[in-house]
Structure 1
Amino acid sequence: MSTGILLRVNDEFGVGGIRERVLAAWAAAPVRFREDTNAEEDLALGGYLDRVVVELAQNAADAAARAGVPGRVQFSLSAGTLVVSNTGTPLSAEGVESLATLRASAKRDDSDSAVGRFGVGFSAVLAVTDEPVILSRTGGVRFSRADTAAAVAATGEPGLATEVRRRDGQVPVLRLPFEAEGEPPAGYDTAVILPLRDEAAIELVRRLLGEADDALLLALPGLERIELDIEGSVRVLTDAESRWHVQRASGVLSDEDRERLLADRPTEERSRPYWSVLWALPREAAELPGVVHAPTPTDEALSLPALLLATFPLDPSRRHVAAGPLTDRLVAEAATAYAELLRARAEDGANVLPLVPIGLAAGALDRAVREAILKALPGTPLVRAVEDGTLLQPREAVVVEGSDDAFNVVLAPIVPGLIAAPRQDRTALDALGVRRLDLADLIDQLGSAAATESPAWWHNVYGALSAMVTEPLLRESLGTLPVPLADGRLVRGVRGLLLPGNELTADVLAIFGEYGVRVVHPEAVHPSLERLGALPMSPRALLEDNAVRAAVEHAAEADDPDVIAEAVLTVVAADVSQAEGLWWLSDLVLRDATGELVPANALVVAGSDAAAVLDDEEVAPIDNALVERFGLPALQAIGVLSSLGTVSAADVTLDELPEALADLDGIEDWADDVAPDGSRFGATVGELLAVRDLDWIVDDAWPRVLELFGSSPDLRRALVETVRVVGPDDRPHGALSYPAWWIRERVLLEDGEPLAGRADPAADPILASFLDAAPEWTARLDPEVRTAVGLVRVVSDLDAAGVELLLDRLADPGREVEESAILRLWSQLGLHEAYPGETPDDVRVLDGSGVTTVMNAGDAVVADAPMWLQRGDLGGFVVASGAAADGLSDLLDVPMAGEVADGKIDSEGTEADVPDLVRELVPEAPDTWWEHEELTVDGVDVSWWVDEDKSPHAATFDGLAKALAWSSGRWDQRHVIRAVLSEPDRSSELRLDATFD
């Protein structure tokens, strides 16, 4: 054996006697041999398969503890041999007997410092060797599988020989000790020499030595140094507690506890009432084994981020903790020690919440430890108060849901036990039972808890909320946030409050404050308030406040209405555009020139257009001092008139007109008239601009008023632009503007007749001859203004009443109407969309003689084709073509000629070809026509006709030309066709002329 250690043969430990007794027992009862072999094999291949390093280190620690010296152990792997040297009590006869006697530990009477408890740990060497040797300063002993087999064979006992044969020669190694000589290395008291069995054993030892770490030192407090020499590569483990935060607990069971807790444990364990627990946390990031140590590693999983080493009782496999009352007691002690460890770390300033057990347990023991810890931690001071940094028990602590560090600092003085709650720690805090206070609930309590705080304190609160107001869910929780106002009140809710700026004085704010305007105290203002719904107090924001409107509407009843007027005008004068659309400002009462209080909408500027055209019984001149002080723009913005005023509204529903339009004269009648199909329900107007006070205009002022409409862009737009009305079917309709409608309906001239419907100065002379002339002053008006107020320039300008008037005058027998005039009017009337309520009784017609005459409508027909004019038997003719003919038929209630006559050709004609030249000049012409000696239709002689099949019939050259032109749809070519038919010698001339058509 090349171990470098001198061996000497001796029998100081009485190993010969041990062998004799064991062999005799085996020979007497071979079953004992079988039992010993099975037991040793179970240990070597089971619980101690990979424990050789741990078990030998444990033996070294126990030896040092027994000797009362610092433990040192050296592991040296070289040339296929592992040598483990240690300090401490050397090998004794009792020790040898323990090694050779399965589960009879020599440490029975040791103190609680001993780690080994079972007397079987040395069997771990059998996983790697068959020839272990132990050398000590007091002597040596060895074990050998081969020598044991030889000794068994030498007994000559047939029963043993049979048992060995059945086991294929397998014998126990550690039951028969043999003498050994040698000494441990200098500086050590004992050495274990293990010639490794094979390459697999060498690789296992190499791995186990490489895995040895601080956990081994922590589990074996008797060792202060472990040296690991792996084939020349040396690593030293020492001073583990410099790298770990360690919490220890230990004790001795009382007699009562010993009887209760150890009743189910083996006899020799019951004689050792000592227990210990050690928790260790790495000071720096380190990989943890993830198993419970008892105190050396077991297979019990541990999910906590720490090492747990405790004297848990183990089952026979030495791999698992045995269930029972002792384990339950140690679980409780481990939980108490863990709580103390976290308390100590918290006192050092560490955040221990990541060490709180959360999530799923890794096994039954892990679950029991975690549950016990979670019972102990709520009563352990380990979370830090925001206010003064003191450690609090979790059961006494509170967190505010959604609060951040900045807001916590503000809340700390008024929320006892407040601690921070970072998002990553929330689950741990819940596991500890920390009370959660909803942010919205806290905000509700904040008003009473901090009612006496200064506005500056509230400013700090809002500053602390800066980050929180950007999150939508948290912003909702802040809906009832208390806010101090400039008038000393503390109100709940930020939305709608006004943030003071530099534009408005404190005096103005004080005036409106009496009416409920809620302005934030200047010292409390913070940008967070605006993000929560407060409004920067621009003039517009202040004017839109309901309290300001209330002040305006009740100013006449106030003790000092002039103060309110001054405040409103001050705000408006700061930026007059801010008053746009706030129509109710016109209700503000101001002083007129005589000192009386008058609503702004009934005041005019002296010498202005408004003063000139409006009834002085309806309006009064404003006090000029107000004009000088606040300026005309500010006064006009609230409704004081220097010209005609306008009012606007958007998204108007005709069945429920907005309040802003309520004072307009006749507005409901206008809505009835412009509604599609006469129904206002569901009809809307996107934008409506109206002119107010039209009913206050004096009668003789209309010439000037209409000139104002033409010169003012706003007035002009309000008058001339049609209103887009959208019906419930979403179809848009154009309608008269309100001012145009009102003027057409209400404005009368000196003769008592309306201005609307009169002939425009630029009207068609023919049309004008049938209408009343407009006053001469209308010639000065803008043409679009004249059209908007109802003056008629062309037939399409006529409304239904105008059409009715025109038809009445056309049917006046006393009037002479030329044929050209009536034909022109018919073509326009037939396409016009305005219809009077009743059709006329008499109509003007053509009688075929070139003049017009009046006859009963029942005796007239509408001729929509020229061939009907040959039918004098049908009565008088109203002549038009296409859509105009249909329109005239409806307008006059006169039938179409085709409705009163069949138009059937009586005679049979002769088919003839249409001359080529005709078809060359008029490609649309048919190929054939029908020649008649005499052509009659419905018994009436005619010169030409086109039947239902578009076939031309004719009895004359002139008739043929018209028939061919009408049937081809080229009535304009009838003269060319006639020339071709009557003068064929002009064919070249006509062809040449057609080139330029």
Structure 2
Amino acid sequence: MQVSDAADPFGTAALRDGLVAAWRSSPTRLREDIATETDLVRAGYRDRVLTELAQNAADAASRAGIPGTLRVWQVGTCLHIANTGAPLDETGVQALTALRASSKTGGVGRFGVGFTAVLAISDEVEVRSRTGAVRFSAAQTRDVLVEHGLIVPDGNVPTLRLAWPSATEPVAGSDTEVVLDVRSGIDAETLLDDFRREAIDLLLELPALQTIVIDDDEFVRTDRILESGLRELRIGDHCWWEHRGAVARWLVPVVDGVVRPVHDDVLRAPTRSDEELSLPALVVADVPMQPDRRRMLPGAPVDHLAQGYADFVAALPGDQRLHLVPTPGFARSEVDGRIREALFEELRRTRWLPAAGGGDDLAPDRATALTGLDDDLAEALDEVVPGLISPSLCSPRHAAALAAVDVHRIGLARVADLLAGHSREPAWWNRLYEALTPFVVDAVTAEELAALPVPLSDGRTVTGPRTTVLHDLGPLSLPWVRLVHPGAAHPLLSRLGAGTVTAEDLLGDPALAAAIDDVHHDPDEETAEDLADVVLTLVAKVPAGAVPRELGALLLRDADGELVPADELLLPNAPLEEVLVADSPFGTIDAALVEKYGAEPLRAIGVGWGFTVLRAELPTGPDHDLPDEDTWWQTVDTDPETLVAVRDLDLVDETRWGRALALLAAEPGTAATLTDRDGYTAWWLRNYAVLGDQPLGHLRYVDDADFEGLLDPCTHPDAGSFRACLAGTRIEDPDLAEILLDRLADLGRRPGPAAVVAVHTALAQCYAAGTIDLDGVILPAGVRSLAGTVVDAADALVADLPWFAAVIPADRLVAVGHAHAAALAELLDIAAASTVVSGEPAGHGRSTTWSREPEAVLAAVTVGLPLPTRPLVVHESLTVRCTGAITGDREVPWWVDASGAVHCTRSGLPGAIAGLSRSS
């Protein structure tokens, strides 16, 4: 039905008639309109009621040129949203009823498809304005459709397509009011709480809006221009700094004058979209968006948003500028990644980093950062490190941001390099050391300053504190020491390795070794005597064990007046001289030196008396000039923490080893090396020292019975002190293995059964370990049996299973533990009994179980072994019928037949339990 223009100022009747006619002529269009409106409500404009209405309010305020106000309140079931600004017009009404068109010709939104968001909470909507009012009703729309015979799919209707005029005016003080009759089941209070949370964001995003009132809660935005040129925005207790560029607005929260980067937000175009961002500041910009304004149009440009961002950063206080550098990491979206890259490019090529000296800002590609830089060090390095940025930006927490914009970062090592070649007054160096002191917190930072220049008292500047000495050295002449200039002296140099004047430190200084080496190459007598005097004076002040072995190269005069290294000299009447070969390289020291310095300092630097002990911490290989050291290292599984070894053992006369061993045992230092069986000294003596005509390693200690009758006992009176240098229970030497094989076959030797078994076991272990190579061994024709006889190898048998021992005659049995039987049989080239002998019990016994036999239970408890699980047959007497290499009947205490069953006499039960436990 038509109404007058006065009752229908926006011509809604004509709009309705046109739409109904279109639907009647094309039901498909009706279904499309229903589907489109439904999609917009459920997807594109879900949860955007206040956002869309606020955009309309901001547009109205902008058109009217006034600060906009938006008010929201609840009356009964209705929500009222009122705003100031340009009122509703006919074009706006047409936009409200259109699903695919908007009246927007400028601003941020003007009654377009976004208004569809109201349908998320209401089916009855009224828009009241000073120029007229319209209402939308799902129920009334449905009635119209029914009236015209149009089928409504699923009961849905296009609520916002048909508008009806209304005579209701907006609330006083507003120009437009939207009234939403909230659908049943929706909590209006919850909606208002959501609106309160959105209010602050909307005031930031929509500059045309100045005030939003939600019920009794008022949100007002105020702003002022700061001296930096930034705009300060405040909403209640919240504060932001804003930079308005030509393309985008950038905002960052501020608390007590300090920016608080956000890092987790979305693109605001101008209101919140679904494009996630990881930028440190909020960005508000007019960019091409899809109709629902949730996503950008594919391919839409965003790089231009970064224009002027560096100006925003440069306007911040210097110590806060890095807060606005995006944190390195993965982008949250494609848009985020593109904007981030554009921001990095903008920041890298623009001057915004404050310089350490307070000069012009620096571009990152021309800037240098020293982590932890403070004002004192910055002042000291002012003319040394070019492009140094402000200390406030050099803390470790800024390292990632500096790296992201390609600021060149340096460490203390680079600072030390840059200081090289600078000539300054000692006091300047002292101030520099003071400024560097807080940076040296551990060994790593100290190492970085290893090349720090140090001014010396003689006017030179040297590289590295480690080569210098800090304190007054008294009357000593120290040609190898570099003295720090007293005006530059600072405790930091000591922490960086500068020497102190303790005698021990001086003697260990590499420069001393270098000075000694220089004298060797140019043996000036006066220089050599001066150096010897200083060294021996210092040596007298330290424990003998603290004297570096390198000092043995110090040149001293011998009895003939020649300059000779100290470790090639002996004290007069030294006991060591008695045991050395006639052509040993040792000379005798000048007696005047002994009288002047005493014997102990001379012995400490290597002048011989007895044998000398070498001590090396954390050795890594055969580089200690010990005889045959490389061969010993091949026997070492892991490097020892400390190498302690007797030197010059290869210089002992072979006929004087008795006296040499006594000398080694008499001195505590050398005696300690004799007890470490795996150590170098005991190893060397076992292999090379000779008593009589036999190496020490081929003699046994008199109380060791394992090899009794096969190896001769050592009769030296000090044998107990060097027991580790004699043969033990292991065979570590292939030569010893061959000797034992030969002596086992020697009828002149009378080893007992225990010794024979012990030797066979050691040989089997030795062979299994690879110590014996069969290709290089000539086996004797005979082998030693358990009876002590020497039997032809072809007739000998190894009892590889314990029950076979009872059927093998003792004069053919080569006994060894079951675990070593296979290795021994292979080594001696003799047969394993189980491969050449077969046997089965003769007669019948009583089948039973182990747990039923008292003797078995008692035996197991006594020896602490579990009862076997094999089948058990008990015999009054047990005879085994043997075939193969051994034939005939043999009476045995127990046997295991081919099926695995155990046959025993009662007395054989304990032996069977023990034997089965070894063979299992």
TM above 0.5, one fold? yes
SS of structure 2 residue aligned to 1:535: coil
Instruction: State the distance in 2 between where 1:278 and 1:556 align.
Output: 81
Match of 1:310 among 275, 278, 285: 285
2:13 pairs with 1:131:
no
Q: Say whether the 8 Å CA contact 1:539–1:578 is kept in structure 2.
A: no
Instruction: State the distance in 1 between where 2:198 and 2:172 align.
Output: 24
Instruction: State the distance in 2 between where 1:722 and 1:308 align.
Output: 79
AA aligned to 1:236 is F
**Displacement of 1:584:** 6.4
| Structure 2 equivalent of residue 542 of structure 1 | 506
Match of 2:143 among 144, 150, 153: 150
CA offsets, 1:215-261, max 9 Å, x none? 201111101111111xxx5242433712444444465xxxxxxxxxx
| Structure 1 equivalent of residue 249 of structure 2 | 278
2:345 pairs with 1:375:
yes
Match of 1:68 among 65, 68, 76: 65
Instruction: State the distance in 1 between where 2:399 and 2:591 align.
Output: 72
Match of 1:41 among 31, 38, 43: 38
Closer, same or farther in 2 for the Cα pair 1:688/1:457, shift >3 Å?
Answer: farther
SS of structure 1 residue aligned to 2:140: helix
Match of 1:184 among 145, 155, 170: 170
Where do residues 330-345 of structure 1 align in structure 2 (5 Å cutoff)?
A: 331-345=302-316
| Structure 1 equivalent of residue 82 of structure 2 | 85
AA aligned to 2:478 is F
| Structure 1 equivalent of residue 613 of structure 2 | 650
CA offsets, 1:780-821, max 9 Å, x none? xxxxxxxxxxxxxxxxxxx99xxxxxxxxxxxxxxxxxxxxx
Where do residues 92-171 of structure 1 align in structure 2 (5 Å cutoff)?
A: 92-108=89-105, 110=106, 114-116=107-109, 119-154=112-147, 160-161=148-149, 164-171=150-157
Closer, same or farther in 2 for the Cα pair 1:552/1:637, shift >3 Å?
Answer: farther
2:363 pairs with 1:393:
yes
AA aligned to 1:427 is A
SS of structure 2 residue aligned to 1:512: coil
**Displacement of 1:527:** 3.5
Q: Say whether the 8 Å CA contact 2:348–2:406 is kept in structure 1.
A: yes
CA offsets, 1:121-144, max 9 Å, x none? 222212111221122222222222
Match of 1:238 among 221, 231, 251: 221
SS of structure 1 residue aligned to 2:124: coil
CA offsets, 1:904-929, max 9 Å, x none? xxxxxxxxxxxxxxxxxxxxxxxxxx
Closer, same or farther in 2 for the Cα pair 1:176/1:649, shift >3 Å?
Answer: same
| Structure 2 equivalent of residue 216 of structure 1 | 202
How many residues were matched structurally?
626
Identity value in percent: 33
Instruction: State the distance in 1 between where 2:212 and 2:206 align.
Output: 10
Where do residues 549-948 of structure 1 align in structure 2 (5 Å cutoff)?
A: 549=516, 557=524, 649-651=612-614, 655=627, 670=652, 672=654, 675=657, 833=715
Instruction: State the distance in 1 between where 2:713 and 2:30 align.
Output: 130
2:425 pairs with 1:454:
yes
Q: CA RMSD in A?
A: 5.2
SS of structure 1 residue aligned to 2:478: helix
Q: Say whether the 8 Å CA contact 1:726–1:732 is kept in structure 2.
A: yes
AA aligned to 1:304 is L
| Structure 1 equivalent of residue 384 of structure 2 | 414
**Displacement of 1:402:** 9.0
Closer, same or farther in 2 for the Cα pair 1:179/1:599, shift >3 Å?
Answer: closer
SS of structure 2 residue aligned to 1:212: helix
Instruction: State the distance in 1 between where 2:140 and 2:395 align.
Output: 69
2:478 pairs with 1:512:
yes
Closer, same or farther in 2 for the Cα pair 1:633/1:16, shift >3 Å?
Answer: same
Match of 2:457 among 477, 486, 493: 486
Q: Say whether the 8 Å CA contact 1:674–1:725 is kept in structure 2.
A: no
AA aligned to 2:454 is V
Closer, same or farther in 2 for the Cα pair 1:585/1:17, shift >3 Å?
Answer: closer
Closer, same or farther in 2 for the Cα pair 1:244/1:279, shift >3 Å?
Answer: farther
Q: Say whether the 8 Å CA contact 2:519–2:528 is kept in structure 1.
A: no
CA offsets, 1:404-444, max 9 Å, x none? 88766644531212345433333322221222446545534
Q: Say whether the 8 Å CA contact 2:357–2:379 is kept in structure 1.
A: yes
2:402 pairs with 1:429:
yes
Closer, same or farther in 2 for the Cα pair 1:121/1:638, shift >3 Å?
Answer: closer
AA aligned to 2:222 is D
CA offsets, 1:595-628, max 9 Å, x none? x999999xxxxxxx99xxxxxxx999979xxx9x
**What runs of 5+ residues in structure 2 fail to find an aligned partner?**
224-232, 567-572, 575-587, 616-624, 630-647, 686-690, 693-711, 718-920
Instruction: State the distance in 1 between where 2:414 and 2:158 align.
Output: 75
Q: Say whether the 8 Å CA contact 2:262–2:279 is kept in structure 1.
A: no
Q: Say whether the 8 Å CA contact 2:261–2:280 is kept in structure 1.
A: no
Closer, same or farther in 2 for the Cα pair 1:581/1:132, shift >3 Å?
Answer: closer
**Displacement of 1:85:** 1.2
SS of structure 2 residue aligned to 1:430: helix
Q: Say whether the 8 Å CA contact 2:252–2:261 is kept in structure 1.
A: no
**Displacement of 1:321:** 0.8
CA offsets, 1:366-412, max 9 Å, x none? 11111111211112333333343753211111235798887666445
**Displacement of 1:73:** 0.9
Q: Say whether the 8 Å CA contact 1:81–1:193 is kept in structure 2.
A: yes
Q: Say whether the 8 Å CA contact 1:103–1:118 is kept in structure 2.
A: no
Q: Say whether the 8 Å CA contact 1:498–1:519 is kept in structure 2.
A: yes
Match of 1:323 among 295, 298, 308: 298
**Displacement of 1:67:** 0.8
**Displacement of 1:55:** 0.9
2:493 pairs with 1:529:
yes
| Structure 1 equivalent of residue 322 of structure 2 | 352
SS of structure 1 residue aligned to 2:483: coil
Closer, same or farther in 2 for the Cα pair 1:165/1:203, shift >3 Å?
Answer: farther
**Displacement of 1:277:** 1.8
Closer, same or farther in 2 for the Cα pair 1:634/1:578, shift >3 Å?
Answer: farther
SS of structure 1 residue aligned to 2:122: coil
SS of structure 2 residue aligned to 1:521: coil
| Structure 2 equivalent of residue 205 of structure 1 | 191
Instruction: State the distance in 2 between where 1:105 and 1:831 align.
Output: 115
Q: Say whether the 8 Å CA contact 1:552–1:588 is kept in structure 2.
A: no
Instruction: State the distance in 1 between where 2:418 and 2:213 align.
Output: 65
**Displacement of 1:512:** 3.4
AA aligned to 2:134 is V
